[in-house]
Amino acid sequence: MNHRYDFVYLFDVTDGNPNGDPDAGNLPRLDAETGQGLVTDVCIKRKIRNYVGLIKEEQPPFEIYIKEKAVLNQQHERAYQASKLKSESKKLPKKVEEAQKITHWMCENFYDIRAFGAVMTTEVNAGQVRGPIQFTFGRSIDPIISSEHSITRCAVTTEKEAEKQQGDNRTMGRKFTVPYGLYRMHGFVNANLAAQTGFDSNDEDLELLWSALANMFDHDRAAARGQMSPQELIVFQHESPLGNAPAHKLFSRVKIERTASNGEAGPPRSFSDYSVSVDDSDLPSGISIERKI
């Protein structure tokens, strides 16, 4: 990879919970001081993993390492078998070239390892990798208000519960939603770390990342998440692998404001209540901008 990339990703949710907090009864995550909603980086990485696994049918070199019911030691053992080496409890091979061979095999076969990195120092040690792609937390443009809804279930779990209900099998529950929230997230693609993991060595990994960000919500529908949609993906490409300008100064060129017609009318309820602008004047030398959504 010959270029560094920094990008701004905007997505929204309508009548859903984009990322519940299990330590708070699955309430939508928020910044307690500002009231802004939060979506964790690992939440978005999970959706990217699911999309890649679906599109590429879990075939090398696009297998997914972190997935439901995966047994990590078994995946590591595959690397030793492919390299014709014997694993030793919690230790990498003593020879540097053999240790590198194990880690390289994992990067070569698993998309999420060469993209996001992984700590593979389990019982069957496959080393650790620092990934070239990282995300910040997503943060809503405006404060969010979490709505609580009572829901009922007309069935019970056991016969004993049915007898206790005496003919009325309804049980009560709770569901939390955000009426509307537009979230902004920043992302980074480090060309030097990409060279170490082999990311985009096949000229397909990077395009797969952009494709995932544009399409992953369509394959992640759930009753709890309402309608989630990607709205903007603004990519700053650097001519140099080391970069041609600080990321934060590039991000400051992306402005999100309430539209004049809705600015004082009430809380936002759709993406059309905002305007997104990108200042492309006097760009630093070696920087180009592409809006991919």
- pLDDT at position 173: 77
Q: Provide the pairing of β-strand 171-189 with 147-153.
A: antiparallel
Q: What is the DSSP string of 119-150?
A: EEESSBEEEEEE-SEEE--EEEEEE---EEEE
* Spatial separation of the C-alpha atoms in residues 221 and 216, rounded to whole Å: 9
Strand-pair category, 133-135 with 27-28: unpaired
CA-nearest of 264, 40, 41, 18 to 134 is: 41
From residue 77, give the alpha-carbon distance in Å to each of 68, 69, 106, 117, 143. 18, 16, 10, 18, 47
Residues contacting residue 131 through CB under 8 Å, at least 6 positions apart: 113, 114, 115, 116, 117, 118, 193, 197, 199
Give the Cα separation of 113 and 126 in Å (integer).
12
Q: Is the dihedral of CA 112, 254, 21, 150 positive or negative?
A: negative
Give me the pLDDT at residue 261, please. 62
CA-atom Rg of the chain in angstroms? 23
Region of residue 266 (left: phi > 0; alpha: psi -120 to 50; beta: else) = left
Asked if 13 and 43 touch (Cβ cutoff 8 Å), the reply is no
Cα–Cα distance for residue pair 123/29, rounded to 1 Å: 34
| pLDDT tens, N- to C-terminus, the chain (293 residues) | 899 999 999 999 999 999 999 999 899 999 999 999 999 999 999 999 999 999 999 999 999 999 999 999 999 999 999 999 999 999 999 999 999 999 999 999 999 999 999 999 999 999 999 999 999 999 999 999 998 888 887 777 777 777 776 656 667 778 899 999 999 999 999 999 999 999 998 889 999 999 999 999 999 999 999 999 999 999 999 999 999 999 999 999 999 999 866 556 688 999 999 999 999 999 999 999 999 99
Question: What pLDDT, on the 0 to 100 scale, is given for residue 201?
Answer: 86
What are phi and psi for residue 191, nearest 5 degrees?
-65, -35
Cα separation, 111 vs 133, in Å, equals 11
pLDDT (0 to 100) of residue 161: 73
**Strand intervals (E) in the chain:** 5-16, 20-21, 27-28, 36-39, 117-121, 125-130, 133-135, 138-143, 147-153, 171-189, 227-238, 254-258, 274-278, 287-291
Question: Cα–Cα–Cα angle for 86, 92, 98, nearest 5°?
Answer: 70
Mark residue 173 as left, alpha or beta (left: phi above 0; alpha: psi -120 to 50; beta: remaining): beta
Q: How far apart are CA 236 and CA 188, in angstroms?
A: 10
Distance, in Å, from the CA atom of 40 to the CA atom of 46, rounded to the nearest integer, reads 10
